[in-house]
Amino acid sequence: MSFVSSAARSASTIAALLLLSACQTVAPTPALNSTTTVTTGTPSHANLNSVLWYQTSAEFRANSIQTYNQARALLTAAKADRSWTAWPQSAAAAQLPPAIIVDIDETILDNSPAAARDVLNNQQGFNDAQWDNWVAAAKAQAVPGAVAFVNAAEAMGIKVLYISNRGCKARDEKSNCPQKTDTIANLRAVGIQKVEETQVWLKGEQQDWSSEKQSRRELAMQQYRVVMSVGDDFGDFLPNVKKDITPPQRAALVDQHQALWGSKWFMLTNPTYGSWETILAAPKQQYLRGF
Ligand SMILES: [Mg+2]
């Protein structure tokens, strides 16, 4: 860019800013009412920037694709090496069929429209009924890179197990877990070619299937040599990391498992919710490190 054009642009930018400033001085401030809040969103909503990053940034998209590309590139080696396991398993695991464990929400399916709606409606906190409406709609898009990864794994004969904390709650007398049907329909709708009921393990489907996923991981390891885990929450990888724990303690656990990240454990980014946040005590500002 030449100096002249740069200077001209600067001058026009200044002129535009002055004009904008003048307009803002003259124009009356619109009255803040509920309609305005719904249509424009509320800048102070705690999740505004996180949801914007999730929905608009090239950085999020690239990061997800990068993670899945890396995982996909290791599938062949993971399948061939019979000692390759994502968590310690007995020697007998070498004879078990290979599998990978994936979380669903913000790992395979992108539920950010539900979060965006909360920002637009200035609704704070989690609403169970609205979440169930979103699950029933079965219209989540896929997290970038996820579909190609799970389809590649299945095509190689590596079973994909979907261990999710989506819960079961009857809506009528027809089914105890309509959420499972909805979730499988959504997974198929985004292009996942092979997913059966036996591969989707939702919270509460069995008595000890709580939001702590360890019991489901252990069950998977009785049946399979589990070679990889993909998730967006630290609880998708380790037990006892979602409550009664501090950020430094979690960081130490991440570091203790340093060799697993990017080889057997793959973390997607999710700044919109997760145990990273729920472990923080109020006021959250106490955790900020300034200088
Ligand atoms: Mg998740």
In a domain, 88, yes or no: yes
Question: How far is residue 132's CA from residue 269's CA, in Å, rounded to a whole number?
Answer: 23
The number of distinct structural domains making up the chain is 1
In a domain, 223, yes or no: yes
CATH code for position 214: 3.40.50.1000
In a domain, 178, yes or no: yes
Instruction: Give this prediction's pTM.
Output: 0.85
Phi then psi dihedrals of residue 221, to 5 deg = -75, -15
In a domain, 247, yes or no: yes
Helices and strands (DSSP H and E) totals, the chain? 12, 7
- Give me ligand 1 centre to Cα 219, in Å: 19
- Give me ligand 1 centre to Cα 106, in Å: 5
- Give me ligand 1 centre to Cα 275, in Å: 10
Per-residue pLDDT of 165-180, as tens digits, reads: 999 999 999 999 999 9
- Give me ligand 1 centre to Cα 164, in Å: 7
- pLDDT tops 60 at residue 22: no
In a domain, 15, yes or no: no
- CA 91 to mean position of chain CA atoms: 33
- In this prediction, residue 11 carries a pLDDT of 44
In a domain, 65, yes or no: yes
- In this prediction, residue 39 carries a pLDDT of 52
Phi then psi dihedrals of residue 98, to 5 deg = -75, 150
**Domain encompassing residue 107:** 47-287
In a domain, 51, yes or no: yes
Per-residue pLDDT of 45-56, as tens digits, reads: 999 999 999 999
In a domain, 17, yes or no: no
- In this prediction, residue 44 carries a pLDDT of 81
- Give me ligand 1 centre to Cα 246, in Å: 20
Question: How far is residue 193's CA from residue 155's CA, in Å, rounded to a whole number?
Answer: 9
- Give me ligand 1 centre to Cα 17, in Å: 43
- Give me ligand 1 centre to Cα 229, in Å: 12
